[in-house]
Chains A and B, each alone.
Chain A
Amino acid sequence: GAVVSQHPSRVICKSGTSVKIECRSLDFQATTMFWYRQFPKQSLMLMATSNEGSKATYEQGVEKDKFLINHASLTLSTLTVTSAHPEDSSFYICSASRRTEAFFGQGTRLTVV
């Protein structure tokens, strides 16, 4: 199957700093990518839809100024958590779709201290 690579897999940052997470589709072009957040022992919640060359579409309740999404090319989307706080600590997963199937990155565990 197709490969989606997410980087970094783990990151620890200080409160108030910003963190960038990358999502790359390695062997196909993805005009649309998705960012999910997973709280401990909970399901994945869709945060936003990242569209290549245009603004991301955010789900209700997700602060777009807090979670900046950039989809500058057909193989790369980035999620930047700005002015991170401990409550932003979570597991973030991206996905890229090809035909009828979504391929998921391995996830990024963000810990804000």
Chain B
Amino acid sequence: GEDVEQSLFLSVREGDSSVINCTYTDSSSTYLYWYKQEPGAGLQLLTYIFSNMDMKQDQRLTVLLNKKDKHLSLRIADTQTGDSAIYFCAESTSGTYKYIFGTGTRLKVLA
């Protein structure tokens, strides 16, 4: 079945860039998403990318997609302490609203 993998932890210093990686197996994925989850809270959509794109930039966030390798990354520029959270990548296929989530990456930003 579909599988989405992420590294579990990432620690960066305030002001540095963070890069969170994600790999997926479903070649029919149409949309790929990045969500942020703060402690005890629901999910906040950060950004998403269509599978026919290879890059999307939105303020401090840059998403890169390598469809051939089924690899997705999220770069956060000038990382702040408020960015500390768990980041999930997720994929869905056109025509369904069923999301498959990655394992989540816990980002810790050190002051």
Residues of A within 8 A of B (CB): 1, 6, 32, 34, 36, 41-46, 49, 93, 95, 97, 100-107, 109
Contacts and interface: CB of A to CB of B under 8 A. Distances in A.
Given A100-B31, A106-B42, A107-B42, A95 B99 contact: yes
A29 to B, nearest CB: 14
A36 B48 CA distance: 20
B73 interface: no
Pairs A-B, 7 closest by C-beta atoms: A97-B97, A106-B42, A104-B43, A107-B42, A44-B101, A43-B103, A43-B101
Interface in B68-84: none
Given A43-B102, A95-B99, A102-B97, A109 B40 contact: yes
A1 B88 contact: no
Interface in B31-56: 31, 35, 40-43, 45, 48
Nearest to A106: B42
Contact-size category for B: 10 to 19
Given A106-B42, A107-B41, A44 B97 contact: no
Nearest to B43: A104
A105 B42 contact: yes
Nearest to A59: B98
Given A43-B88, A106-B42, 6 more contacts: A34-B97, A42-B104, A43-B104, A45-B101, A100-B48, A105-B42
Contacts of B101: 36, 43-45
Contacts of A49: 98
A93 B40 contact: no
Interface centre among A102, A105, A106, A109 (most CB of B within 10 A): A102
Given A100-B31, A109-B40, A46 B98 contact: yes
Contacts of A101: 45, 48
Nearest to B6: A43
B77 to A, nearest CB: 23
B43 to A, nearest CB: 4
B91 to A, nearest CB: 12
